[in-house]
Chain A
Amino acid sequence: MELYRSHVLVCGSTGCVSSDSLKIIDLFNKELEKHGLEKEIKVVQTGCFGLCEAGPIVIVYPEGSFYSQVKLDDVPRITEEHLLKGLIVHDLTYKEPGKKEASDSIDDMGFYKKQQRVALRNCGVIDPEILKEYIAYDGYAALAKVLTKMSPEEVVETIKASGLRGRGGGGFPTGLKWEFTSKAEGDVKYVACNADEGDPGAFMDRSVLEGDPHTLVESMTIAAYAVGANYGFVYVRAEYPIAVKRLQIAIDQARENDLLGEDILGSGFSFDMEIREGAGAFVCGEETALIQSIEGRRGMPKVRPPFPANKGIFDKPTLLNNVETFANINQIILKGADWFAGIGTEKSKGTKVFALGGKINNTGLLEIPMGTTLQETIFEVGGGIPNGKAFKAVQTGGPSGGCIPAEHLDTPIDYENLIALGSMMGSGGMIVMDEDNCMVDVARFFLDFTEEESCGKCTPCREGIKRMHELLDKITEGKGKLQDVDKLETLAKTIKKASLCGLGQTAPNPVLSTIRYFRYEYEAHVNEKMCPAGVCQALLQFLVIPEKCKKCGICAAKCPVNCISGVKGKEVYLIDQAKCIKCGACLEACPFDAIKKG
């Protein structure tokens, strides 16, 4: 094996690939050759580093220098300065928002300090398309251990003892699910992986598939051994082409190397798997709908019981887990249940990956121990709110999560705490809102999504979300009454209580949580016909402040609908509210801050 003095890690995941990181890899290779460095320095295409917003990202080891937004022109400089002369190119390394200087090493970055990477451990570290790299990081050691030293019952017991709970949203104890499936009667059983990842903004599953696909192959094989299955399905959305491609490469490599297929590692155990691509309906992430979709039917949730553990794919006992859930399995086998149970809180063990977005400095993917507070996550790992704005709320759990206000920021993140606050873990979406967000508008925004994604099967969800949406439209348009807020609340509660599947049961969360924590904002909309955050167009007014107006007429010249009148130099300008389209052009144009929004 060759030894390299330095490694150049270039992110090859969706975010960075879309900003041309593959060309950067090619150019690095050419540059290294040009300088005769190709034997000393190796360029590695890796999975995602998490800070996708700063992509394309290049990390040079052993220094750990974190180069962000690297352009093709930067490649010769990094090669000549850093790789040839050993000088970090400081103006290209990442400067975290709020910090005076860029960190020299990834180890000093606030974004990574509180993180603990278990599920994402190999993402951004190894080349996902090379099996040897995975093996070098203990890949398939867990499978070997399981097949040679453990009985299926011992595997199930280990997972139970670890306290791992499903990362797909529900938080169901994984070990229990494995036990149910292993005890279910049936000669044919299946293992399935939910990689549908329908939450807009969440991409932890994609990240694992793109950055460490063998982890899934290995863990699904372990699961199959534990529950007595010989065939598996991975349901991935077709919008994830890189993930599908890399997973297929991993499956093929595993087959070629005796790690998948007949008689794995000579153990007598056989297991094989295939990828099923979904067409991208959010509801197909719901387990029973997913199973129907795998069977070739319209993805519509079914009544449970029967649960998939007893009657799943083609009515056979089926173990279904999420990608991130699986990504923890091989680590638990290798390091032991106690190690895993030592991380996190009493009822929520281990780490959780979150996709942080919205009004936050460090947009990206992070993995933190359960029990980290929202405060630490948002202000330390996330780097706080940009532009000095005040934090207002954080929405956790994807489009059906609730909005949690500032007074609960010190809550340690775990399944129960988030539910108690009217939100949920979901798949780990985390959207931060600041003082400029109107919470009524936020609730309406999320209903846009759930209204369209409802499968249409059951009455409360199909008809009810539509009506909630209409009531919110009415309120944001200034046509709402106080009764509408009450109506909204009772309707939301009925939808939650009476819907068939998780989609309908959670879709009202944004509405209920914003009414719970930000009722005054609703009341301002209906009583005072005012949007305190200045977001709802229909309730906005642009007004000239007479004392400040210098009678310059610049605003009038900018107004696209000519609704500002006045006489240049003589008369204070006046906005005709009936004609104003609330575009805000005058506010921006006025050099004297004489126009206010209210």
Chain B
Amino acid sequence: MITLKINGFEVQVERGATILQAAEKVGIKIPMFCYDERFKPHGSCRICVVEVEGARSLMTACCIPAADGMVVQTESEVVVEARKEILDLILANHPLDCLTCEQAGRCTLQDLCYQYDIEETSYEGARKSYEKDVSNEFYTADQTKCILCGKCVYMCSQVQNTDALCFVDRGFETHIGTPFEQGIAESTCVSCGNCVSVCPVGALMPKRREKYRYWEVEKVQTTCAYCGVGCQMELLVKDNRIVEVLPVKGHCNEGLLCVKGRFSFDFVNHRDRLKKPLIRKNGELEEATWDEAYDLIVSKINEIKESDGPDAISAFSSARGLTEDNYLMTKMMRAVVGTNNVDHCARL
């Protein structure tokens, strides 16, 4: 254990813990754009700088290990000045489109400018301007709004392991792109949307089906129903309709989702969605009750079993069912019907 002092508070942490982890222990908040505990420390944005007594330069709390006897100030004059300068520099190269920007309300840049009273940039001069990449089915990439925190690149390369994104060019021209600037559709991107989820600003955005503001939605945490992984997610609901899905850091998914969980929720409110069983009568599908449907299934199974034996029957279950449901299904087929003819869509 090592002991250090942050803003006058003494705190003990394990060797190897960062200044940030130590600060969290005593409830001190440090602003961050680029940190994510799932990535290797990279220290890109520099907004988390703090003052360490005796150090030549400022230290990034998110990636510098705490040391015994360290004396840290997280909101001293030098620190606040540096943070304001960094925000000023970001704004000098960022369109202030908050009025129409879909990220508004969920945007770290907006929040930090509010926190440090930065209304506008003090610089005039060149600004970046890139064409928005809309080639992906599910999300857009607007490099003009990107603050180059690097999170999307590290998410894709270190966590998602797809390596679709990379840094392109150098200096002021640096931007996020795909290899050989072919565009996202031509890249290896699997549309998992995990980069979109970690983008702190409105550079990577889901393609919206309808208009909503983040402060208008109700959040419902649930388990993804698509497959047996059981990812945790948050449904953003407006007027009783799901408008977006965000990942939640659950046990099995650590804040990740796949393309289905993240982007495929349209079916919930789709007009073609089946809500009641249908039975074909005289060549036409007609709505029925569940009791009618079950009765029909049982009678058909018995009929076939009688005439052709149990192996003339097979069951095919869905990956969207729970593990328990799938277990029950096989049990029923083997023990009740008497056949091993069971299969599952995830095998395909």
Question: Which residues of A approach B to under 8 Å, CB–CB?
Answer: 281, 283, 298, 300, 302-303, 305, 451-460, 462-467, 470, 487, 490-491, 494, 496-500, 505
Contact = CB atoms under 8 A, between A and B. Distances in A.
Nearest to A305: B65
A456 B173 contact: yes
B167 A497 contact: no
A281 B167 CA distance: 15
A497 B44 contact: no
Contacts of B195: none
A300 B93 CA distance: 22
A447 B7 CA distance: 37
Interface string B78-120: 1001100110011011000000000000000000000000000
A463 B42 contact: no
A467 B169 contact: no
B167 A459 contact: no
A498 B58 contact: yes
9 contacts: A303-B43, A453-B170, A455-B171, A459-B86, A460-B46, A463-B172, A497-B58, A498-B58, A499-B57
B236 interface: no
A467 B63 CA distance: 27
Contact of A497 (B43, B82, B124, B172): B82
B338 interface: no
A283 B174 CA distance: 14
A454 B41 contact: no
Interface in B320-338: none
B contact patch SS: loop
Contact of A467 (B78, B89, B167): B89
A494 B171 contact: no
Contact of B45 (A453, A454, A458, A470): A458
Contact of B90 (A455, A463, A494): A463
Interface of B: 41-47, 49, 57-58, 60, 63-65, 78, 81-82, 85-86, 89-90, 92-93, 122-126, 147-148, 150, 166-167, 169-174
A462 B46 contact: no
A505 B148 CA distance: 19
- List the 3 shortest-distance A-B pairs measured between CB atoms, nearest first: A456-B174, A463-B89, A470-B125
B180 to A, nearest CB: 14
A54 to B, nearest CB: 36
B17 to A, nearest CB: 13
Contacts of B169: 456
Contacts of A465: 171-172
B43 A456 contact: no
B86 A498 contact: yes
Contact of B126 (A283, A470, A490): A470
A462 B148 contact: yes
Contacts of A457: 42, 44, 148, 150, 167, 174
B85 A462 contact: no
Contacts of B173: 456
A451 B86 CA distance: 17
Given A456-B173, A466-B171, 14 more contacts: A298-B166, A303-B63, A457-B42, A457-B150, A458-B45, A459-B45, A462-B148, A465-B171, A467-B125, A490-B85, A494-B82, A497-B58, A497-B82, A498-B49
Contacts of A460: 46, 85-86, 89
Contact of A459 (B90, B126, B170): B90
For B42, B78, B82, B170, the residue with the greatest tally of chain A CB atoms inside 10 Å of its CB is: B170
A460 B92 CA distance: 12
Contacts of A466: 125-126, 171-172
B74 to A, nearest CB: 14
Given A456-B170, A505-B57, A494 B45 contact: no
Contacts of B93: 463
Contacts of B86: 459-460, 494, 498
Contacts of B147: 459
A8 to B, nearest CB: 46
A309 to B, nearest CB: 16
Nearest to A300: B167
B82 A500 contact: no
Contacts of A494: 81-82, 85-86
A470 B172 CA distance: 12
A465 B174 CA distance: 13
A487 B84 CA distance: 13
Contacts of A459: 44-47, 86, 89-90, 147-148
Contacts of A497: 49, 57-58, 78, 82
A201 B44 CA distance: 30
A9 to B, nearest CB: 41
Contacts of B44: 457-459, 500
Contacts of A496: 57
A559 B93 CA distance: 42
Contact of A453 (B60, B150, B171): B171
A453 B174 CA distance: 11
B31 to A, nearest CB: 13
A458 B171 contact: no
B43 to A, nearest CB: 4
A498 B174 CA distance: 19
A197 to B, nearest CB: 18
A457 B82 CA distance: 17
Contacts of A490: 81, 85
Nearest to B125: A470
A289 to B, nearest CB: 11
Contacts of B126: 466, 470
B46 A454 contact: no
B89 A303 contact: no
A459 B48 CA distance: 12
A491 B78 CA distance: 12
A305 B67 CA distance: 12
Contact of A458 (B46, B122, B125, B170): B46
A463 B92 contact: yes
B42 A451 contact: no
A298 to B, nearest CB: 6
Contact of A470 (B41, B47, B123, B167): B123
Contact of B174 (A462, A470, A487, A500): A462
Contacts of B57: 496-499, 505
A456 B82 contact: no
For A452, A464, A467, A487, the residue with the greatest tally of chain B CB atoms inside 10 Å of its CB is: A467
A482 to B, nearest CB: 15
Nearest to A494: B85
A580 B337 CA distance: 100
B60 A303 contact: yes
A477 to B, nearest CB: 13
Given A454-B171, A462-B171, A467-B89, A487 B81 contact: no
A457 B45 CA distance: 8
Contacts of B49: 497-498
